[in-house]
Amino acid sequence: MPEQVGTIRIVDVHHHVGVLSLSEVRGTKVEPFADLSSRLALMDEHGIAQACLFPANSYPQAQGILDTQRQNDYIAEYRARRPDRFPAACAVVEPLHGEAAVREVRRVFEELGVNGLVFHHRFQGGPINAANMYPILDAARGYHRPIFVHVIAESQLESPWRLEELADAYPDVTFVALDAFSSPSQSQWMSYIATKHANIYFETGAMTSVGNRLAMFLARHGSDRLIYGSDCYMTPRGYAVPHPKNELLALGLARDDLERIFWRNAYRVLGLDTGGNER
């Protein structure tokens, strides 16, 4: 590990708040903020200075938009509990909610002040490029906030070509492909996509341990569009060690590249104040 690494701020842009799967906690009541202390302990254990929060998508929706609003209120309050550790949070909107989803876009940006929107389409009843995504993006584009989209390799609903369609349709919108390197084949695909879509950034959560092609991606595209994230869940805990962080530190990258990947790119995309510490 390079000697200077210990002084680099590490920001994880991919922390989910809530349960990974309702089936895994069936019959168990999960109290609000119950995982806050364990989340902070995990971050401290692995040298993570800050994280961007996402709602978990596996939440009860019997009351439709009201349940979604509760999720977004919760993520904003979670951020407010420790803004020094959680400087950013993104809201979820459900494409199946139609016009109510469009109204929720306006509410979360104007009333909650979230930093972006996040989608996990395999939990949301349709593909990334479904027709009901377009009114949501029409409403969101004027706020100039990033759109985080999961492209987990095992899901056809989240196949990266679908994100490419949105990136083509909205060239003025910044998209972040979450779980971009989640299989060897998809990792090679990301490098090709990066040549065609300047408005897509690529995040390292759920990264495959073999064949992730990060070195190839960086050699071809540099470090300006790679963002560190670990795809963290606390209920249940998703991992013992944040593998993407260790992989990046082992690549022998220059300090400037590590700083871009570990925090500068995230701060720029999320619209966070660097305190003048940007170059």
Q: What is the pLDDT of residues 151-186, one digit of tens each?
A: 999 999 999 999 999 999 999 999 999 999 999 999
CA distance 214 to 66: 41
The per-residue pLDDT for range 76-101, each reduced to its tens digit, is 999 999 999 999 999 999 999 999 99
Q: How many domains does the chain have?
A: 1
Q: Is residue 277 in a domain?
A: no
Q: Phi and psi for 17 in degrees, rounded to 5?
A: -110, 120
- pLDDT at position 29 is 67
Confidence of residue 4 (pLDDT cuts 50, 70, 90): very low
Residue 1 counted as domain residue: no
Q: Is 189 helix (H, G, I), strand (E, B) or coil?
A: helix
pLDDT grade for 276, boundaries at 50, 70 and 90: low
The β-bridge relationship of strands 11-17 and 226-227 is: unpaired
Share of the chain above pLDDT 70, in %: 93
| Partner residues linked to 19 by β-bridges | 235
For residue 38, the domain's CATH number is 3.20.20.140
pLDDT for 6 equals: 62
What whole-number distance in Å separates Cα of residue 172 and Cα of residue 168? 9
Q: How many CB atoms lie within 10 A of CB 171?
A: 9
Between helices 99-107 and 65-81, what is the axis angle to 10°? 20
Task: Write the pLDDT tens digit of every residue in 234-257.
Answer: 988 999 999 999 999 999 999 999
Distance CA 77, CA 71 (A): 10
Residue 31 lies in domain: 8-270
Specify the pLDDT at position 58.
84
* Residue 276 forms part of a structural domain: no
Does some domain include residue 261? yes
Half-sphere exposure of 186 (CA within 13 A, CB side): 25
